[in-house]
């Protein structure tokens, strides 16, 4: 299965149109949107971005980010092939996807944030084993290249603890714009595709025996 991973549109409709086209170009089976769909926006703004992506004809799994309003934390755009998976475990193509929205652990005063303890409670609901689990989290795990902002790490310790214990094959994250990278934590591949508003994305192939990921441009 091939995934197009995008995040951090911050309301940029043109970027959503480029991502729509990219999904067709790479023959993606699924589009994963990892938060900050809007810039302090609600369901109308998010629907505009997701609507452009849905024009690709590809199914979409998404979570919101810290800069999306909490009013859409559990919002479902029923007229689109887009599914909000925050706090939910869903199956697609033989894989299990779990979503964790918002900014976790930072406490920086943005619209949608969770403490690490709140995130731990959500993540503990995921059943083991995690051999075919993909974690879709706006906030990266702490202490990797994917969460470096300047000279410091700003990711979530709760997310890192989960990854260290469960070792899922793949974590898709965003949030830290300058930390576009592919990292590893044990056996887990962690992908921060970079902000889509600046033309960034990642293409991920789920193959027998592993995960193959590459950073690309829209």
Domain boundaries, the chain: 2-217
Of the candidates 83, 14, 74, the one whose C-alpha atom is nearest the C-alpha of residue 49 is: 14
The pLDDT, as a whole number, for residue 137 is: 98
* Per-residue pLDDT tens digits of the chain, which is 218 residues long: 999 999 999 999 999 999 999 999 999 999 999 999 999 999 999 999 999 999 999 999 999 999 999 999 999 998 889 999 999 999 999 999 999 999 999 788 999 999 999 999 999 999 988 889 999 999 999 999 999 999 999 999 999 999 999 999 999 999 999 999 999 999 999 999 999 999 999 999 999 878 999 999 99
Alpha carbons 115 and 118: distance in angstroms, whole number: 5
Alpha carbons 198 and 64: distance in angstroms, whole number: 18
CATH code given to domain 2-217: 3.60.21.10
């Amino acid at each position: 299965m091939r995934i197009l991973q995008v995040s951090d549109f911050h309301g940029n409709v043109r970027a959503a149109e480029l991502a729509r086209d990219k999904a067709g170009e790479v023959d993606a089976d699924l589009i994963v949107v990892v938060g900050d769909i809007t810039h302090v926006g609600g369901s109308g703004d998010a629907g505009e971005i997701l609507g452009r992506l849905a024009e690709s004809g590809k199914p979409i799994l998404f979570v919101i980010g810290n800069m999306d309003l909490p009013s859409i934390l559990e919002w479902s755009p029923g007229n689109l092939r887009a599914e909000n998976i925050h706090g939910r475990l869903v199956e697609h193509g033989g894989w299990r996807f779990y979503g964790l929205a918002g900014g976790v652990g930072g406490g920086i005063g943005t619209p949608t944030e969770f403490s690490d303890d709140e995130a731990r409670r959500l993540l503990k609901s995921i059943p083991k084993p995690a051999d075919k689990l993909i974690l879709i989290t706006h906030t990266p795990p702490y202490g990797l290249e994917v969460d470096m902002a300047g000279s410091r790490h700003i990711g979530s310790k709760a997310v890192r603890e989960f990854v260290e214990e469960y070792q899922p094959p793949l974590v898709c994250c965003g949030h830290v714009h300058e930390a576009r990278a592919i990292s590893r934590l044990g056996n887990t591949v962690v992908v921060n595709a970079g902000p889509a508003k600046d033309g960034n994305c990642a293409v991920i192939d789920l193959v027998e025996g592993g995960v193959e990921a590459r950073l690309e441009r829209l």
